[in-house]
Amino acid sequence: MSLLDYDAINLAEKDLQYGHEFLREMREQHNLSFVSANVYETATGKLFAKPHIIKKINGWKVGIFGVTMEERAARMVPPETGFEIRDPVAAAKNQVQTLKQECDLIIGLVHVGINNSIQLVEQVEGIDIIISGHFGTHLRKPHRVGDTVVMQPGSKGKYLGQLDFQLPSDGKSNVYGKTVALNSKISDDAELARLVKEYDEEVLLTFPLESPKAKTQYSLFSQRACITCHFKQHNQWRATLHSHAWETLVEEKQAHNPECQKCHTTMSGEPNGFTRLAETPDLVSVQCAECHRPVAKDMATHINRFRGRGRSTNGETNGATKDFKPITEETCRKCHNEENTPHFDYAEFRAKITH
pTM of the model: 0.72
Helices 114-123 and 88-99: crossing angle in degrees, nearest 10, is 50
Backbone angles phi, psi at 102, to 5 degrees: -135, 0
Q: What does DSSP assign to residue 256?
A: T
Q: How far apart (Å, rounded) are the C-alpha atoms in residues 331 and 255?
A: 23
Q: How far apart (Å, rounded) are the C-alpha atoms in residues 210 and 224?
A: 22
Q: Calculate the alpha carbon distances from 256 to 115, 119, 239, 335 in Å.
A: 34, 39, 25, 18
Q: How far apart (Å, rounded) are the C-alpha atoms in residues 286 and 263?
A: 7
What pLDDT is recorded for position 316? 47
CB 274 within 8 A of CB 266: yes
What pLDDT is recorded for position 203? 78
Q: What 3 state SS string does 101-137 have?
A: CCCCEEEEEEECCHHHHHHHHHHCCCCCEEEEECCCC
Residue 313 pLDDT > 60, yes or no?
Answer: no
Q: How far apart (Å, rounded) are the C-alpha atoms in residues 204 and 210?
A: 10
Residue 318 pLDDT > 60, yes or no?
Answer: no
Q: How far apart (Å, rounded) are the C-alpha atoms in residues 320 and 306?
A: 8
Q: How far apart (Å, rounded) are the C-alpha atoms in residues 120 and 109?
A: 12
Backbone angles phi, psi at 81, to 5 degrees: -70, -20
Residues 23-54 pLDDT 10s:
999 999 999 999 999 999 999 999 999 999 99
Which pairs with CB-CB distance under 8 Å and at least 24 residues apart come from 246-253? 246/284, 246/285, 247/285, 253/200, 253/204
CB 163 within 8 A of CB 140: no
Judged by average pLDDT, the poorest of 61-65, 194-198, 311-315 is 311-315
Residue 311 pLDDT > 80, yes or no?
Answer: no
Residue 172 pLDDT > 70, yes or no?
Answer: no
What pLDDT is recorded for position 320? 67
What pLDDT is recorded for position 173? 47
**What does the mean pLDDT of the chain come to?**
88
Residue 260 pLDDT > 70, yes or no?
Answer: yes
User: Residue 287's closest CA among 204, 196, 223?
Assistant: 223
Residues 97-134 pLDDT 10s:
999 999 999 999 999 999 999 999 999 999 999 999 98
Q: What does DSSP assign to residue 217?
A: S
What pLDDT is recorded for position 140? 85
Q: Which residues are 78's β-sheet partners? A: none
DSSP state letters, 37-105: SSEEETTT-SBSSBSEEEEEETTEEEEEEEEE-HHHHHHHS-GGG-EEE--HHHHHHHHHHHHTTT-SE
Residues 203-244 pLDDT 10s:
777 777 666 665 557 889 999 988 888 889 999 999 999 999
The percentage of the chain sitting over the pLDDT mark of 70, rounded to a whole number, equals: 91
Q: How far apart (Å, rounded) are the C-alpha atoms in residues 219 and 213?
A: 13
Mean pLDDT in residue range 297-302 = 82
Which domains does the chain show, CATH number per domain? 2-181 (3.60.21.10), 204-353 (no CATH)
Contacts of 345 (CB under 8 A, 6+ apart): none
What pLDDT is recorded for position 123? 96
